[in-house]
Amino acid sequence: MAAYAFVTLLTTESYLPGALVLAHSLRRTGTQHALVALYTPETVGADAVAALATAFDRTVAVDTLRTNSMPNLALLGRPDLFATYTKLHVWNPDVVPYERIAFLDADTLVLRNIDSVFGFLDQESVVFAAAPDVGWPDCFNSGVFVTKPSAALFAELIEHAQRPYSSFDGGDQGLLNTFFSSWPGESPIRPRTARLPFSFNVTPTAFYSYLPAFQHFGRDISVVHFIGHSKPWKASRMPDGSVIGWGEATGQFLNLVQQWWAVFDQFQVHVALRQFTLDRNWSLYIPPVAGGSDSRIGRTEHRSEYHHHGHHHGHHSGGSHDFGSYRAQWDERESRGASSRSRSR
Ligand code: UPG
């Protein structure tokens, strides 16, 4: 098999739940490609690396690469993203020795097999492909992309990153968009870049603005990307596992957050997180009650999901929020829509 890999990045332990769920979500799609996690040892400790190793094939230590455009990060409202230039290491073939890699931010969730994403690099001249950003669709979002690691490209990118204000948002997205400024695919004969379908990098925070499209294309979503401050692992849940009160999220969006937790529960990710207390004390985490969701949904009381004796339960609920039920919901809504359409005729 060709040497392809899926790669993510951890620059802080606070994104560890995201990275672990991402790896499990990829693996359950049946991909045979390697799963690689890059991490920065100055901020990610040995316990976190051991946790990563429970889900990834390889963990690779890399140096932190810091932005030189802090004011632009402040404009974005995300000074916490000062280290996302570290992502540039994916172009270094010494770090990531693969012909092609698919990079996925740690706040992404894979819903179906995405091995086909490597095919967007089949044309020899194409070295990079990404999907549009919902905030400014003439830019690409840098949370999901495919590329061909190359020493020459890596050197060019590092040089570009050192120029003052080469990133208009202070993060890697603003930097990569000025580097691959002709995205998507300037020359029809020898394009250097290509456009990935939006379904490979769906950012549901913006769906309120185009709900009909979400209804129409939602079942084709391959990758969900939880951009912004609110991350699924910070969401509160009912004892049955249903997510409550998550930012401005409603309806379909909440359903996607629920899918993230379905993977978390299915692979008992809380076990790998036991010793971490960032965001929440994972050693006190209790998985949702198996099979209890139907009888519990609709209760108004909110019980804590935490157990106060400090040990976790080994069981998990894979049943009520699994992958199949997500697809089934789409199918059910589709058929409901079809029957109401036919009734109205
Ligand atoms: N990351 C950490 N710890 C942090 C911050 C970031 O490990 O404290 C890693 C992680 O892989 C994360 C990625 O860097 O997924 C990007 O950060 P994130 O908070 O997910 O950024 P987004 O909210 O998704 O914002 C956008 C783009 C993202 C880009 C960022 C900066 O979607 O791809 O890196 O803007 O340009």
pLDDT value for 254: 84
Per the confidence metrics, is the pTM higher than 0.90? Answer: no
At 76 the pLDDT is: 83
Q: What is the pLDDT of residue 142?
A: 98
Low-confidence ranges of the chain (pLDDT < 50): 1, 291-331, 333-345
- Confidence (pLDDT) at 188: 80
CA–centroid distance, 95 to ligand 1, in Å, is: 20
C-alpha 85 – ligand 1 centre gap (Å)? 10
* pLDDT number for residue 320: 34
Atom number, ligand 1, closest to the C-alpha of residue 167: 36
pLDDT at 246: 65
Read off the pLDDT of residues 257-275 as tens digits, 9 standing for 90 and up: 999 999 999 999 999 999 9
Residue indicated by tokens 């300037």: 186
Neighbours of 185 (CB within 10 A): 16
Measured from the Cα of 171, ligand 1's closest atom is 36
pLDDT at 67: 84
Work out whether the CA dihedral 190, 192, 196, 200 comes out positive or negative. Answer: positive
Per residue in 127-156, pLDDT tens?
A: 999 999 998 999 999 999 999 999 999 999
CA of 78 to the centre of ligand 1 (A): 9
The predicted structure's pLDDT at residue 68: 82
Proportion of the chain above pLDDT 90, given as a percent: 57
Structural domains in the chain, sorted by start: 4-200 (3.90.550.10), 230-338 (no CATH)
Which of 107, 167, 169 best tests ligand 1's pocket when mutated (most atoms within 8 Å of CB)? 107
Residue 26 confidence (pLDDT): 98
Per-residue pLDDT at 84: 87
